[in-house]
Amino acid sequence: MTIETRRSFVVTALTAIVLAVIGGSVGAQQPGREYQAPRAPGGKPSLEGIWQVRNTANDDLQDHAGSLGIAAGLGVIVDPADGSIPYRPEALAKREQNRARRETDDPVAKCYIAGVPRTMYLPHPLQIFQTPEEVVILSEFVHTTRWVPVVPLARIDGYESWIGDSRGRWEGDTLVIETVGFNDSTWFDHSGDYHSDRLKVTERLRRISDDTLSYEAVIDDSQVFTRPWTIRMPLYLHKDRDRLLENECHLYAEDAHESIVGTHPEVKP
Amino acid sequence: MSARGSTVMHWCVGAAVILVALGVAGRSVAQAPAAPKSSCPLETAQFHPCALPKIKSFKPPRMPDGVPSFQGYWRTQHNGAATDVEPGPGSFAIPATKGIIIDTPDKKIPYRPEALARRNELREHGSLDPQAHCAPSGPPRKNFTNFGWKIVQTPGYVIFLYESMHDYRVIPTDGRKHLPPAIKLWHGDPVGHWEANTLVVDYANGNGRNWIDMSGNFQSEHTHVVERYTLIDPDTIHFEARIEDPTLYTRPWTIAIPFTRNTDEGYYQLEYACHEGERDLQHLAPGEAGEG
């Protein structure tokens, strides 16, 4: 080995070591690795607070241009890598039909419970509370309640519902929620993406900074999709609000048609 | 059938629809409740005087931060108040009510005359009952639901999770103020604090459209309610609510009922989706009462 090549070798090796050290330290500083979330009673990371997404996932989970009732936006699907929903070929027609009729047929447009995971990325705030035994997720939209026990509790066979039947567990600092027991009536977004009553959703919530939750959901429904697929997005902390208000959507719709609920025209003061 | 009757019938039909929709023998609603354990009789007339000394003497279990713990599942013993907070005669499918008002001589609401006339009109129009439209009920009515409810506590909060219409109430106990008065909500704005072993909840910001029961007893947007929750033994909560509204009532009036602990093994609350499955309201339209 000549002096030149030895020098070159040493420089290369030193460069590699320096890069490895820098790379390692950069990696260690990534949010979610070193961040220590505040603790809730019982010692688990606190997910408490009022949270909301800042994206257009509620309009369309995939990359999308703008259209009626839909703001243009980037997709939130991280698996498959191409960001598309892996529909079975025969299941795609219903999505196209849903999408065409979205202004009237979207269950959220009808003020119905948005289901899971959609409740988590509606353009409405939600508040999380937790005890050592449970996590409670309350949405402002049509006062939706998600109750997630993190202790063993037998499920009820055959149960069908809009919000599903959730069970939670902690994997390290990540809250994992598995939910089944759905009906087939909710959509994933305003673009008509849908599921059957065989839907299983596995969500992962992790506080990655004081102001940010990482939210991920794996959608598994072999009736409609060829394989499970995954969405991921941040939820941000509301710092300017100390309580949920309300969004009683269907009552506002009744009021728009001159509702007299709770009053009486002949005796109204 | 009277408007009262048709409203009750609405709920019966509604409950049946829900059970069918669930496709299960919904154990949280269909199972006959176990006999509640309480150190006092549950009828308001006997319960309230029996409970009063226990409010001061009972030492409740406590949360890690020292406040009394109400955590768990509860059943309301509303003594007919879901139908009528006043004493009322029974009719088909409706038991007579003995009333739950504890501080008026006739157990009736001390209405101003014009408000009483309006109440009498409203009770003939069950289709206007907000609850029949799946509207959230403010206090005290939400606590009259025949369905179960759960209390969850975290530091600084008491959270009520109701099975009925998946309603929730978040009660902060950190001393914060009410919302600005321009914000009127179906839920109103409850803020709480602790007085000895009693959770005191101050309710304001109601939108004034809630009814108090199925009989047309009503509130206005000026209605102010002070609720008091106190454990009188390990399995019984004394609930009291003082309702004040000079625009409707000649004086404040107070109700009292018990809640008893639900200790059924493996119990949890199922979904009561109201608006999503509602197909009974048409039967409550004036002139069609009872046809549902």
Question: A24 and A62 share a domain?
Answer: no
Cβ–Cβ contact A262 with B under 8 A: yes
- ipTM for the whole complex: 0.86
Q: For residue B12, count other CB atoms closer than 10 A to its CB.
A: 13
pLDDT value for A24: 42
Question: A11 and A58 share a domain?
Answer: no
pLDDT value for B139: 87
pLDDT value for B223: 96
Question: A58 and A155 share a domain?
Answer: yes
What DSSP state is assigned to residue B89?
Answer: -
Phi, psi of B224 (to 5 degrees): -120, 125
In angstroms, the first-to-last Cα distance of chain B is 11
Closest approach of B56 to chain A, Cα-based (Å)? 28
Question: A151 and A225 share a domain?
Answer: yes
The SS3 of residue B125 is coil
Q: Mean pLDDT of residues grouped by 10 in chain B (292 residues)? A: 40 39 40 72 97 98 97 94 91 84 97 96 90 90 91 98 95 97 95 98 95 94 97 98 98 98 94 82 49 31
Look at B118 and A144 and tell me if their CB atoms are within 8 Å.
no
Look at B161 and A112 and tell me if their CB atoms are within 8 Å.
no
Give the β-pairing of A200-209 and A229-237.
unpaired
What DSSP state is assigned to residue B166?
Answer: G
Cβ–Cβ contact A112 with B under 8 A: yes
Give the range of the structural domain holding residue A106, as residue numbers without chain letter.
49-240+247-255
> Which among A136, A251, A267 has CB closest to B186?
A251
Question: A104 and A19 share a domain?
Answer: no
User: Residue B10 half-sphere exposure, CB side, CA atoms within 13 Å?
Assistant: 30
CA–CA gap between residue B159 and residue B151 (Å, rounded): 6
Whether the Cβ atoms of residue A235 and residue A53 lie closer than 8 Å to each other: yes
The list of chain A residues with pLDDT below 70 reads 1-33, 264-269
Question: A83 and A189 share a domain?
Answer: yes
Q: For residue B200, count other CB atoms closer than 10 A to its CB.
A: 18
pLDDT value for B281: 59
pLDDT value for A258: 73
In a domain, A178, yes or no: yes
pLDDT value for B146: 85
In a domain, A127, yes or no: yes
Tokens of B24: 């299960």
Nearest to B182 by CA among B204, B202, B209: B204
Question: A123 and A177 share a domain?
Answer: yes
Domains of chain B: 3-284 (2.40.128.20)
Nearest to A231 by CA among A190, A194, A211, A201: A201
Phi-psi region of B54 (alpha: psi -120 to 50; beta: other; left: phi over 0): alpha
Question: A175 and A204 share a domain?
Answer: yes
CA–CA gap between residue B126 and residue B262 (Å, rounded): 31
In a domain, A192, yes or no: yes
Look at B166 and A260 and tell me if their CB atoms are within 8 Å.
no
Residues of A in contact with B266 (CB under 8 A): 153-154
Maximum pairwise Cα distance, chain A: 105
Whether the Cβ atoms of residue B22 and residue B141 lie closer than 8 Å to each other: no
pTM value? 0.87
Q: For residue B62, count other CB atoms closer than 10 A to its CB.
A: 11
In a domain, A36, yes or no: no
Question: A7 and A67 share a domain?
Answer: no
CA–CA gap between residue A184 and residue A201 (Å, rounded): 13
Cβ–Cβ contact A162 with B under 8 A: yes
Question: A140 and A207 share a domain?
Answer: yes
In a domain, A43, yes or no: no
In a domain, A263, yes or no: no
Residues 9-48 of A with CB under 8 A from B: 40-41, 48
CA–CA gap between residue A160 and residue B273 (Å, rounded): 11
Radius of gyration of chain A (CA): 23
Task: For residue B211, list its beta bridge partners.
Answer: B218
Residue of B nearest to A112 (CA): B276
Domain count, chain A: 2
In a domain, A118, yes or no: yes
Phi, psi of B18 (to 5 degrees): -65, -45
Question: A141 and A17 share a domain?
Answer: no
For B137, residues 6+ apart whose C-beta sits below 8 A from its C-beta are B130, B131, B145, B167, B210, B211
Cβ–Cβ contact A109 with B under 8 A: no
In a domain, A215, yes or no: yes
Question: A193 and A109 share a domain?
Answer: yes
